[in-house]
Amino acid sequence: MSDSGTGRSAGSGDGTRAVRAGLPEPVKNQPHLPGPAFAAHFHLPGDVDGPYTYGRDQNPTWSLLERAIGELEAPGQEGVETLTFASGMAAISSVVFSQLHAGDTVVLPSDGYQVLPLVRAQLEAYGIEVRTAPTGGDAQLDVLDGAKLLWLESPSNPGLDVCDIRRLVEAAHAGGTLVAVDNTLATPLGQRPLELGADFAVASGTKQLTGHGDVLLGYVVGRDAEAMAAVRRWRKIVGAIPGPMEAWLAHRSIATLQLRVDRQCATALTVAEALRKRPEVAGLRYPGLPDDPSHKIASQQMRRYGCVISFTLPTRAHADRFLDAARLVDDATSFGGVRSTAERRGRWGGDAVPEGFIRFSVGAEDPEDLVADVLRALDASAE
């Protein structure tokens, strides 16, 4: 159980909030962040009451992490509840499958996370109508009529389009439609969907929230008690729970969130500016670039623009040579880690991207080192 109270955190800046998020009242001779509670079951004499009974239902290490995430996603908001999950997909599935029933309609982005088409197939198998539209241009507005749930992903992964969350929420709520926003790419320091009116902020904590590429995690933050009770029930039924060690690692990692996000976002802009001068680079996207198609709306609803940029090299071979030549950029999927990663996204299939399309996640290296490495790799990959 968690609330969004700012607890003992005296400051309101993101860095202060991040380093103190979710910490319990200090206890003499005890660590400030208690270690992971490894327990499948808890001492439970007599009546079944109190918060901790069985390890699939609740765990004190999750409780602290859930409080921390709630403080970041919805600072100062009352009545907000946070639930953590084994992965981002566990969090997404728990919202979607707990809120929708046969005969309902859901609107998904057509350009969202690559597993959404599998979710779509499963929803349809359960008799739920699925409509899709692109993120850019708020196109999901056009297919909203009568939907039970609107799912937004802004910025979208990997295309980096942005939608006007407030505008979509207003239209959705006018028709009685709940709204969930996938906040993975932005992180709560980049964007706070609940403040923009959304009913759920959902994310993969696997990416920049934890930032070291060593943990899978997901979370749901919501303010509708009934809806959240259904999400909690779904987590219990499916058992999609985080391990105590993962939850603790995530909580420890959140202490550096502001440092990492600020560094990585600033360097992402620097790398994007260096890439735009290169003739072989096409379709460069970064919402933080002032002339990016996403920038106007992003600047209204985001406080930081994320660490992911995307661009297209002329051919698949050219992109592969670039990825081979870069020494500070690991060829890997996922994003948000302290070490830069990039991949040719088309290798997975599924995303509607050109063969030479690269999704680049900017890490915490020194910006001059990273830019030099990227430019050298581009030189080396030219024919």
Three-state DSSP string of 206-219: CCCCCCCCCCCCEE
Q: How far is the CB of 132 from ligand PLP (least distance, A)?
A: 15
Prior bond to 155 cis, omega within 30? yes
Q: How far is the CB of 86 from ligand PLP (least distance, A)?
A: 8
Q: Closer CB to ligand PLP, residue 307 or residue 374?
A: 307
Q: Closer CB to ligand PLP, residue 88 or residue 367?
A: 88
User: What are the backbone dihedrals phi and psi of residue 135, each rounded to the nearest 5 degrees, phi first?
Assistant: -70, -45
**CB distance 330 to 350 below 8 Å:** no
232-271 residues labelled b (16+ CB within 10 A) or e (exposed): bebbeebebbbbbebbbbbbebbbbbbbbbebbbbbbbeb
Q: Closer CB to ligand PLP, residue 178 or residue 216?
A: 216
Q: How far apart are CA 158 and CA 167, in angstroms?
A: 22
Name 218's bridge partners: 85, 204
Q: How far is the CB of 170 from ligand PLP (least distance, A)?
A: 23
**CB distance 203 to 182 below 8 Å:** yes
**CB distance 114 to 350 below 8 Å:** yes
Does 135 help bind ligand PLP (rule: CB under 6 A)?
no
Q: How far apart are CA 288 and CA 299, in angstroms?
A: 8
Does 132 help bind ligand PLP (rule: CB under 6 A)?
no
**Hey, which bits of 127-216 come out as E strands?**
129-133, 149-153, 178-182, 200-204
Q: How far is the CB of 314 from ligand PLP (least distance, A)?
A: 27
Q: How far is the CB of 310 from ligand PLP (least distance, A)?
A: 13
State which of residues 66, 71, 164, 182 lies at the interface with ligand PLP (CB under 6 A): 182
State which of residues 7, 88, 337, 363 lies at the interface with ligand PLP (CB under 6 A): 88
DSSP assignment letter at 346: G
Smallest CA-to-CA distance from 298 within 268, 343, 328, 277 is with 268
**CB distance 167 to 301 below 8 Å:** no
Stretch that binds ligand PLP, among 10-18, 201-209, 256-264, 339-347 (CB under 6 A): 201-209
Q: How far is the CB of 27 from ligand PLP (least distance, A)?
A: 33
Stretch that binds ligand PLP, among 84-92, 274-282, 309-317, 359-367 (CB under 6 A): 84-92
Stretch that binds ligand PLP, among 36-44, 82-90, 274-282, 341-349 (CB under 6 A): 82-90
Q: How far apart are CA 259 and CA 19, in angstroms?
A: 10
Q: Closer CB to ligand PLP, residue 288 or residue 337?
A: 337
Neighbours of 280 (CB within 10 A): 18
Stretch that binds ligand PLP, among 87-95, 102-110, 136-144, 264-272 (CB under 6 A): 87-95
Does 305 help bind ligand PLP (rule: CB under 6 A)?
no
Residues 308-347 that bind ligand PLP (CB under 6 A): none
Q: Closer CB to ligand PLP, residue 72 or residue 89?
A: 89
Q: How far apart are CA 154 and CA 162, in angstroms?
A: 5
Q: Closer CB to ligand PLP, residue 153 or residue 164?
A: 153
Does 191 help bind ligand PLP (rule: CB under 6 A)?
no
State which of residues 73, 111, 153, 320 lies at the interface with ligand PLP (CB under 6 A): 153
Q: How far is the CB of 43 from ligand PLP (least distance, A)?
A: 33
Residues 204-243 that bind ligand PLP (CB under 6 A): 204, 206-207, 216, 218
By the criterion CB under 6 A, which residues form the site for ligand PLP? 87-89, 92, 113, 153, 157, 182, 184-185, 204, 206-207, 216, 218
